[in-house]
Amino acid sequence: MSAFFNSFRDTTQRLAFALLALALLLFAFDTAHAHGFKLGALEIGHPWARMTPPGAKVGGAYFSIENTGTTPDRLVSVAVAADIAGRAEIHEMSVTDGVMKMQMLPDGIAIPAGGTVALAPGGYHLMLQDLKQPLKEGASFKGTLTFEKAGTVAVEFKVEGMAGPKGAAGMQAADPHAGHGTPSN
């Protein structure tokens, strides 16, 4: 036990200090992870989109889905505000023999019971087609996610810088939209 900690006179003071430290830690954690949404047993973590350069017609958007329940579900469709994009498609990027491939997933993404699925750069992602305006860092926009069983939940996407959410290591490694018809970033 550190001398600093021992300087507290009694257990109550120590406990108060520990709680304060915990609160600060939780606050920091919450800031890094920003925001989330809940729909039944599904927890949607930090929906975000990468900022786009002027004139870009497509953008990428991401979030995580945690299924805390015992029934599998499926993300079947996503919509975003009409003044943001014409439509949002569910895509998967994969690398086969060193060649990056992008494909639309017409059946969406399966969410296993008790499992977590991440839409993140380099893998599953949303492709915002027919962008109506550049996505500016710091802005946010509304969307809805529809699941086969759980139904529809309204979410808010935050627009992050090119490197992705702060503290998200490796996010800048592979931008699935680098070769996706976007003018070079």
Which C-beta is closer to Cu ion: that of 87 or that of 166? Answer: 87
Beta strands at 73-80 and 140-147: parallel, antiparallel or unpaired = antiparallel
**Of 5-13, 64-72, 102-110, 155-163: span binding Cu ion (CB under 5 A):** 102-110
Determine the size of the site formed for Cu ion (CB under 5 A): 3
The answer to whether 50 contacts Cu ion (rule: CB under 5 A) is no
Residue type, 7: S
Residue 67 burial by Cβ neighbours in a 10 Å radius (0-12, 13-18, 19+): buried
Which C-beta is closer to Cu ion: that of 42 or that of 127? Answer: 127
We find the least distance from the C-beta atom of residue 102 to Cu ion, in angstroms, to be 5
The answer to whether 102 contacts Cu ion (rule: CB under 5 A) is yes
Phi, psi angle pair for 17, to nearest 5°: -65, -45
Q: What share of the chain is helix, strand, coil (3-state, %, to 5)?
A: 15, 45, 40
**Of 15-23, 30-38, 85-93, 162-170: span binding Cu ion (CB under 5 A):** 85-93
Q: CA nearest 156: which of 45, 59, 39, 2?
A: 45
Do 77 and 69 contact (CB within 8 A), yes or no?
no
Which C-beta is closer to Cu ion: that of 102 or that of 168? Answer: 102
Positions 114 through 153 that interact with Cu ion (CB under 5 A): 127
We find the least distance from the C-beta atom of residue 183 to Cu ion, in angstroms, to be 16
Residues binding Cu ion (CB under 5 A) = 91, 102, 127
